[in-house]
């Protein structure tokens, strides 16, 4: 699919134009970062976009996760997958496994201590899943 056509289909459920613009900017940043092989930054951007989209989906649909007063991104990913809410559960499983700790990627001490590596191979696995998932929103 041509890039501009794909953009038209993204984030169509977001009615707030300012939020939509932020999401488009974040998505475009991913394309820019790929050209510069900034794999860790790409993972952070993908995680941020999915975090927002899942948060918004739960809010818009009044979905409550039992026993979770303030569910995390991981909690939402697990709930979506186990309750088969949207998309294919295996896609959500892979996104969860790769992006579970995406926020920690900004903390060098955690990346070093836990020996977290985000490389092209990681992004090559995640990219098609990410692209498929964001089209669900």
Would the CA dihedral through 135, 14, 27, 90 be positive or negative?
negative
> Model confidence at 96, in pLDDT bands (50, 70, 90)?
confident
Mean pLDDT (the chain) is: 85
Residue 53 has pLDDT above 70, yes or no: yes
Residue 10 has pLDDT above 90, yes or no: no
The answer for residues whose C-beta is within 8 angstroms of residue 34's C-beta and 6 or more apart is 42, 123
Token pair listed for 71: 């569910």
Instruction: Give the residue-averaged pLDDT of 39-60.
Output: 91
> Model confidence at 7, in pLDDT bands (50, 70, 90)?
low
> Model confidence at 59, in pLDDT bands (50, 70, 90)?
very high
In the chain, where the domains are located: 3-134
pTM of the predicted model as reported, rounded to 2 decimal places: 0.85
Contacts 24+ apart (CB under 8 A), 29-34: 31/3, 34/123
pLDDT digit string (tens) for 66-95?
A: 999 999 988 999 999 999 988 888 888 878
């Amino acid at each position: 699919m041509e890039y501009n056509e794909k953009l038209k289909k993204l984030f169509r459920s977001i009615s707030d134009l300012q939020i939509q613009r932020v999401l488009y900017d974040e998505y475009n940043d991913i394309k820019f970062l790929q050209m510069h092989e900034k794999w860790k930054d790409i993972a952070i951007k993908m995680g941020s976009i999915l975090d927002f989209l899942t948060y918004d989906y739960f809010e818009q649909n009044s979905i409550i996760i039992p026993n979770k007063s303030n569910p995390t991104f991981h909690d939402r990913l697990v709930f979506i997958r186990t309750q088969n809410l949207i998309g294919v559960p295996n896609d959500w499983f892979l996104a969860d496994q790769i992006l579970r700790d995406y926020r920690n990627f900004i903390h060098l001490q955690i990346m070093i201590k836990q020996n977290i590596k985000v490389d092209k191979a990681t992004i090559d696995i995640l990219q098609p899943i990410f692209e498929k998932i964001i089209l669900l929103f």
